[in-house]
Amino acid sequence: GENVEQHPSTLSVQEGDSAVIKCTYSDSASNYFPWYKQELGKGPQLIIDIRSNVGEKKDQRIAVTLNKTAKHFSLHITETQPEDSAVYFCAAAYSSASKIIFGSGTRLSIRP
């Protein structure tokens, strides 16, 4: 089955700087890669996703890149703000199965 590894487990960046979170997946059949943000006491919230027919996707300050050959995908957050502090999860799925496998999460802290 699919296995998703996520690094780093914790990340602290200065406000205004960029943050990068990296993930790898094992199943080459996976073709859907969502990223979720989870704040304390809340459920995960989808912030951006990318499908395997696209190499990069951007939405304001966040962007995702996908390297299908290497089975790597990354989340980039630019101009970080205090409200970006949260736990971020990457995930992978084979769309027709609708089963999402999550990484172990990255706790992002933004230093003022």
Partner 1 sequence: EAGVVQSPRYKIIEKKQPVAFWCNPISGHNTLYWYLQNLGQGPELLIRYENEEAVDDSQLPKDRFSAERLKGVDSTLKIQPAELGDSAVYLCASSSEGRNEQFFGPGTRLTVL
Which of 31, 78 has the CB closer to partner 1?
31
For partner 1 (CB under 8 A), the number of binding residues is 23
Which of 18, 72 has the CB closer to partner 1?
72
CA dist 3 → 14, 43, 47, 57, 101 (Å): 31, 22, 21, 23, 7
91 binds partner 1 (CB under 8 A): yes
CA torsion 76-29-106-40 (nearest 10°) is 100
53 binds partner 1 (CB under 8 A): no
24 binds partner 1 (CB under 8 A): no
| Pairing of the two strands 4-7 and 99-102 | unpaired
When binding is defined by CB under 8 A, the residue of 50, 105, 108, 110 that contacts partner 1 is 105
Q: Look up residue 78 and give its two tokens.
A: 């630019």
Q: How far apart are CA 92 and CA 78, in angstroms?
A: 23
25 binds partner 1 (CB under 8 A): no
When binding is defined by CB under 8 A, the residue of 44, 63, 75, 84 that contacts partner 1 is 44
User: What does the DSSP 8-state code read for residue 19?
Assistant: E
Q: Look up residue 35 and give its two tokens.
A: 């990223």
Binding site residues, partner 1, CB under 8 A: 4, 6, 32, 34, 36, 41-46, 49, 89, 91, 93, 95, 98-100, 102-105
